[in-house]
Structures are given as structure tokens and as C-alpha cells.
């Protein structure tokens, strides 16, 4: 049986290999601290095997969680105080890429489409086969899909060196920087909020405001709450753990027996409606205005607000009708 921990070790290994490449890259002015960040992140993946929640008696080994907590804080410091840098990527020129696009045509899309194809096959056809750890077929399918897609990609492009995709992947990693880790950090924050009882507190406030058992009002509170919180902070990912711990999980799912995937997926999208409306989400709304040399930097937001409000209504209605 293929275990999800094996995939985590592979991901960790990829980070460590890229970190070694970074340490050797003299074009990166912050190569040592960059390598420390990605290397440390890579090591947290196998270490996490000993910390993660498992069914009792099934763990191969157990490790204390505190050192991992220290590592997480170290990652936060490295990312938070701007210790991550970029090297000069060694890549093809624009002309070479244009020529390659003409040569390969739409065949270039085949490897990219291999990833979701393999993932879907694993999640549907192979899920029952017992090949994968229970409940992890999709995630493992993704990992497997990437490995298959890499082979297909090298065949399609005629690339022979494995170092090439690793190098290009590393350049993308450097370009994304700590933004790559943000979703995981926000998931951590959500867990700490739940442990410390933030959700219970917000939930109590909401409960005093909401009439007992009023499903529709609770749905509206969750969707509009996600929307407003996202408009304020500019990031639906940051709003999600707070609103879910306050209303989504305790009220809509536990109290009113909502369908968890429906409530959570639609709640996140209600947050996305907020992202469309806020200058706080600068990279999506303000950066394009600058790139397009608009005099009105709120132009894209103005074009998006009516769509976003209509979609917020859709989210609320679909959740109210189909999630219970």
C-alpha cells in the first residue's frame, strides 16, 4: 500500500535538493539564508511523520512536537525579515521559447494535462483498489501525476537532463518565495485559533446575534462574513480559518448537519468574491491597473464589483439550498 507519508518524504527531498542547488548559486545575494529556509522546510516533512496525528498503535516512530514548532518559528523569521533571495535563472531566451512553441505546438499541453488526468484516475478508479492509503487517493494521485507528467514532459520536449526541470522548478520556487508557505502557515494559525478557543468565542457572539436554529441567517452570516473579512484583510485564506472556526464548523456543520465539503468549498468562494472587491488584494487588483497604465487604479475593481456581488448571492443561495 502506498502511504501518504512517502509523498511527504518525496516533497521534502525535492525541497532539500533545491536548497542545495540554491546554496551553490552565487548569483543569489542571499543564497545561504534562502538555502536554510528551503532546506529546513524540506526537513520538516520527514520529521513531521513522527509528529502528525495517526491512529494509535500505527505510528512507526514518535517524535516531540516542540522542536518542529521551533523550526516553524525559524521559517517564519527567515521569511518575515526578508532573508529569501533569488538567483538569476538559467533559462531559454524568448526567441528559443517562441521557436519551441512553434515546433511542439499544442503537444506542450499534454504533460500539463497528465497531472489532473492521473490524479482523477487515482481518485476514482484506483481508490477502491487498496493501492493507496485510505482517504489519501487524491493527494497521492497528484504526487504520482507529477512524476508521470515529468517523464511525459521530458519525452515530449526531448529534454534529457533531470537537472533541467529541477532547476526551472527552483526558479519558480524562488520567485514565489514565502508566499508558497503562506497557506500552510494560515492552516497552522487556524488550528491554534481553534485550540485557544477563538472559534468558540466568535461563535458565542454570533449565537447571541443569530436567532436559534435559523439556518438561512447562519448561511448568510458565514458567506457575508467571509466576504467582509476578506475585503478587510485582502486575503480569503486568512479569513477562512477564523470564520470557519466561528460559524462554518460549529453552527453550519455540527449544529445544523450541513454537508461539510459543500459548506467549506462555497464559503471559501464567498471569500474570493471579497478578494475581487478589495484594494487590499493588491497583486490581483492594483498591480494589473499599474501594468495596464490606468489612470484610475480602481478600474479593475469597478469592473469586478457587480460580478462579485452577484456571485456572493449565488454562493449564499447554493449553500442554503444544497448543503443541508
User: Judged by CB under 8 A, does residue 276 bind another protein?
Assistant: yes
Residue 263 has a CB neighbour count (10 Å cut-off) of 24
Q: Which residue in 105, 160, 208, 212 binds another protein (CB under 8 A)?
A: 105
Q: Which of 53, 56, 208, 212 binds another protein (CB under 8 A)?
A: 53
Transcribe 279-298 into DSSP letters.
TTSHHHHHHHHHHTT-SSTT
Contacts for 280 with CB less than 8 Å, ≥ 6 apart: 231, 232, 233, 234, 235
232 near another protein, rule: CB under 8 A: yes
**Of these, 27, 100, 129, 214, which contacts another protein (CB under 8 A)?**
100
DSSP 252: I
**Residue count at the site for another protein (CB under 8 A)?**
148
- Binders of another protein in range 239-268 (CB under 8 A): 240-242, 244-245, 249, 260-262, 264-266, 268
Q: Decide if 9 contacts 49 (C-beta within 8 A).
A: yes
Closest to another protein by CB, 2 or 185: 185
Query: Rule CB under 8 A: is residue 14 a binding residue for another protein?
Result: yes
Closest distance to another protein from the beta carbon of 43 (Å) = 12
Q: Which stretch binds another protein (CB under 8 A): 26-34, 147-155, 206-214, 215-223?
A: 147-155
Q: Which residues ranging from 150 to 209 are in contact with another protein (CB under 8 A)?
A: 150, 153-154, 157, 159, 164-173, 178-198, 201-202
Rounded distance between C-alpha atoms, residue 315 and residue 313, angstroms: 5
Q: For residues 35 and 7, give the distance between their C-alpha atoms in angstroms, rounded to a whole number.
A: 22
Asked whether 43 and 71 are in contact (CB, 8 A), the reply is yes
Amino acid at each position: 500500500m502506498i502511504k501518504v507519508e512517502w509523498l511527504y518524504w518525496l516533497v521534502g527531498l525535492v525541497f532539500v535538493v533545491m536548497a542545495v542547488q540554491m546554496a551553490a548559486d552565487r548569483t543569489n545575494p542571499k543564497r545561504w539564508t534562502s538555502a536554510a529556509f528551503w532546506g529546513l522546510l524540506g526537513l520538516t516533512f520527514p520529521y513531521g511523520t513522527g509528529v502528525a496525528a495517526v491512529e494509535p498503535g500505527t505510528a512507526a516512530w514518535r517524535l516531540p512536537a516542540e522542536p518542529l514548532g521551533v523550526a516553524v518559528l525559524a521559517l517564519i523569521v527567515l521569511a518575515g525579515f526578508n532573508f529569501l533571495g533569488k538567483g538569476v535563472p538559467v533559462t531559454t531566451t524568448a526567441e528559443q521559447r517562441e521557436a519551441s512553441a512553434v515546433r511542439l505546438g499544442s503537444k506542450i499541453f499534454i504533460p500539463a494535462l497528465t497531472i489532473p488526468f492521473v490524479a482523477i484516475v487515482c481518485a476514482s478508479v484506483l481508490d477502491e483498489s487498496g493501492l493507496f492509503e485510505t482517504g489519501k487517493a487524491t493527494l497521492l494521485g497528484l504526487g504520482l501525476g507529477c512524476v508521470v507528467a515529468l517523464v511525459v514532459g521530458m519525452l515530449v520536449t526531448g529534454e534529457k537532463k533531470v537537472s533541467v526541470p529541477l532547476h526551472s522548478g527552483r526558479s519558480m520556487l524562488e520567485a514565489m518565495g514565502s508566499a508558497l508557505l503562506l497557506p500552510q502557515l494560515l492552516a497552522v494559525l487556524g488550528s491554534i485559533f481553534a485550540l485557544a478557543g477563538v472559534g468558540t468565542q466568535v461563535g458565542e457572539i454570533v449565537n447571541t446575534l443569530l436567532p436559534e436554529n435559523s439556518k438561512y441567517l447562519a448561511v448568510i452570516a458565514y458567506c457575508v462574513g467571509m466576504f467582509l473579512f476578506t475585503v478587510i484583510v485582502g486575503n480569503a485564506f486568512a479569513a477562512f480559518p477564523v470564520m470557519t472556526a466561528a460559524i462554518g464548523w460549529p453552527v453550519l456543520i455540527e449544529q445544523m448537519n450541513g454537508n461539510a465539503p459543500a459548506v467549506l468549498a462555497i464559503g471559501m468562494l464567498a471569500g474570493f468574491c471579497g478578494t475581487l472587491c478589495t484594494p487590499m488584494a493588491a497583486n490581483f487588483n492594483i498591480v494589473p491597473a499599474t501594468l495596464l497604465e490606468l489612470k484610475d487604479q480602481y478600474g479593475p475593481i469597478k469592473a469586478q464589483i457587480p460580478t462579485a456581488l452577484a456571485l456572493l448571492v449565488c454562493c449564499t443561495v447554493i449553500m442554503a439550498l444544497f448543503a443541508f
